[in-house]
Chains A and B, each alone.
Chain A
Amino acid sequence: MSETILSVRDLCVYFEIRDEGWFPEKKLLRAVDGVSFDLEAGETLGVVGESGCGKSTLARAIVALVPATSGEIRFDGQNLVGLDAEQLRQQRRHLQIIFQDPLASLDPRMTVGEIIGEPLRSFFPRMSAAERRTKVIEIMQRVGLMAGYINRYPHEFSGGQAQRIGIARALILHPEVVVCDEPVSALDVSIKAQIVNLLMELQQVYGISLLFVAHDLASVRHISHRVLVLYLGKVMELADSDAIYRAPRHPYTQSLIHAVPVADPRQARARPAKGLEGEPPSPIDPPSGCVFRTRCPYAVERCAAEVPALRQVGESRVACHLAEQIQSSS
């Protein structure tokens, strides 16, 4: 599990926003602002953060559904940022995505077989229909769908089954990396576990690397080897999922962990979940220095002046000037 398959360096995704008024200024929305990480073969990297932290944008930028403004996304030695359209299209075989809303990501006018088989048509145009069908059936069975469903339409399926269709479509090309953008958030509580288990199993079988983006810390903890914590487009902490939970070093990570209510009445009464005061600042006008400082209980002057770099502190990589001093508690 030591071969690096995807390498992201200083990835920035900025959007231009036009202001209101007679003489609109052009403002920049920094959705992803200098994110760097490595993804190893067969590893699951969880990405957590709250709404507006840029995790969905990051997910889409990695699979080039959203153009990156600057930085590097290295796969197989090639930088995907700045490739021309056709070269980029060729690389899509290796980096696939699963979406949050299972039914919205399936074309309602196509059959399951057509949906799952479409990637094959894009990259193997000379493949015969019969051969395509065989491959589609094979992958359907692998994800737990009956072959008999091949001629059905998306609206005939439940959310969990529709998500399996999406997973089958993502896997049919045997990609090396699969980005999962909140794949279980829209599913029923009793189905989430099925899909999470399925993803873990498929990872074992196919040796894929997963980038698991979600806001549910517990699911992320369960499925990931390592976790990346994002806030306002920047990386706050990057560590093994055990370390993130047991010994979170960044104040934001600590707040996140403390905010999750414990599913145990006695513990919960003793230590109720604690929220974070205030609102996240706007990604159009982020605070200077450390973006978290406006809500951080430990902020000092240095935090406003200097952007903290991501550095190794104990078991984690943390972007905080005070990481060594702060008690890592959980």
Chain B
Amino acid sequence: MAPATLLEARQLTVEFTTRGRVVHAVTEVDLDLAQGEVLAIVGESGSGKSQMLLSMLGLTAPNSRVKGSVRFDGQELLGAPEKRLNQIRARKIGYVFQDPMTSLNPYLSIGLQLAEPLRIHKKLGKAAAAAQAVEMLRAVHISEPEQRMRQYPHQLSGGMRQRVAIAMALVCGPEILIADEPTTALDVTVQAQVLSLLREARERLGTAVILVTHDLGVIAELADRVNVMYAGRIVEKGTVEDIFYRRRHPYTEALENSIPDLSDSRATPLVAIEGNPPDLSAVPAGCAFHPRCPYRLAMCDQAVPPLEAVDENHSKACFYQGELGRGAKAGG
């Protein structure tokens, strides 16, 4: 019995007009998130992934145009009045930003910031909110939580700040946690701690997670399903095993081949992807990846390839029908 769908996005499109040019940050994205599952979105900077997440909560910049539909719990989020969105933010959908230094207010103590969502959304009094905040700090494995409540963000290390940010996002017990590159700025040992935190959140609270990252190791550890984004579009979707063992899109393959794995020695060549990531105000015609694609065909600059099913849960947007593996790493 498939778990219920919590979040459903259809044809989500986000555009910005700046200085006379139109930036197509997100184009016609379809996305589904089931209860309790971890969905990973892979894409590099400039793939529009952050804008996609922000648009779901109505947090994009004023000069943006958002089209399409995002339904949460049966309700349409796009264009919803601020009041309704505010009830959902933090209470139902928590958000963790990439850089904890900028997402935490440097002038307020940790305790105040952590208690804020509780007081707003759950209408708790100061003391009750503070008590729950301490529990939350304990839950994210921050030592001496009572003392930490009075400290300020600059007194904590990067890893601790990110854990506080996660605590803030989870404090009201939301159904969905959106995490935008939560571990990119962190040391690898701290990253491992944060990953296990996210796993715990899923196991103990049943929170569904949308995780945006370009770290394949993180995806392999946490994700149930993966969506690969390039130039604002989803180019491949599938379960985590589909994406790692049965990938069908040249970009997915190119990405995996260009990222070194700890088990690769000096002898294993890194196959770099040619060219540069696309400028979202001047996306190449047809398939946006075609200028960099080793499998490109004549038709690839003529039309945008639609997402077609490869398997039950696996689909790709690519005209090339043959086998991949031209760029496979030895033993990959």
Spell out A's residues near B (CB within 8 Å).
50-51, 158, 160-161, 188-194, 196-197, 215, 217-219, 221-225, 241-242, 245, 255-269, 272-280
Contact = CB atoms under 8 A, between A and B. Distances in A.
Interface in B201-258: 214-221, 240-241, 244-245, 254-256, 258
18 contacts: A50-B187, A51-B187, A190-B254, A193-B259, A196-B272, A215-B188, A218-B261, A218-B262, A221-B266, A256-B188, A258-B192, A259-B189, A259-B191, A263-B256, A268-B221, A272-B221, A275-B192, A280-B157
B261 to A, nearest CB: 6
Interface string B178-207: 000000000111111101100100000000
B271 interface: yes
A274 B264 CA distance: 20
A223 B217 contact: no
Interface centre among A191, A222, A267, A278 (most CB of B within 10 A): A222
Given A263-B244, A265-B241, A221 B265 contact: yes
Contact of A190 (B187, B199, B217, B258): B258
B232 to A, nearest CB: 15
Interface of B: 44-46, 143, 157-160, 187-193, 195-196, 199, 214-221, 240-241, 244-245, 254-256, 258-266, 268-273, 276-277
B186 to A, nearest CB: 9
Contacts of B256: 263
A222 B260 contact: yes
A269 B190 CA distance: 19
Contacts of A274: 192
Nearest to A158: B276
A222 B272 CA distance: 13
B25 to A, nearest CB: 16
Nearest to B46: A188
Nearest to A198: B272
Nearest to B157: A279
A204 to B, nearest CB: 12
A116 to B, nearest CB: 20
A215 B187 contact: yes
A253 to B, nearest CB: 12
A221 B188 contact: no
Given A255-B189, A273-B195, A221 B254 contact: no
Contact of A51 (B44, B46, B158, B265): B158
B263 to A, nearest CB: 7
Nearest to B264: A222
A192 B258 contact: yes
Main secondary structure of the interface of A (DSSP, over half): helix
A162 to B, nearest CB: 11
A278 B45 CA distance: 31
Given A192-B258, A221-B265, A262 B220 contact: yes
Given A261-B220, A273-B221, A275-B191, A217 B244 contact: no
B266 A222 contact: yes
Given A275-B196, A279-B160, A219 B221 contact: no
Contacts of A196: 260, 270, 272
Given A190-B44, A193-B270, A219-B260, A264 B189 contact: no
A188 B191 contact: no
A258 B221 CA distance: 13
Nearest to A160: B276
A221 B259 CA distance: 12
Contacts of A273: 191-192, 195-196, 217, 221
Nearest to B244: A265
B220 A191 contact: no
Contacts of A194: 272-273
A252 to B, nearest CB: 9
Given A190-B255, A260-B188, A261-B195, A242 B218 contact: no
Contact of B240 (A256, A265, A272, A275): A265
B4 to A, nearest CB: 24
Contacts of B241: 265-266
A263 B259 contact: yes
Given A263-B220, A265-B241, A273-B192, A193 B258 contact: yes
A233 B276 CA distance: 37
Given A193-B272, A262-B262, A274-B192, 10 more contacts: A190-B255, A191-B273, A221-B264, A258-B192, A260-B217, A263-B219, A263-B220, A263-B259, A275-B193, A279-B160
A278 B196 CA distance: 15
A59 to B, nearest CB: 17
B44 A188 contact: yes
**Nearest 7 Cβ contacts at the A-B interface:** A261-B217, A275-B192, A275-B193, A193-B272, A193-B258, A50-B187, A276-B189
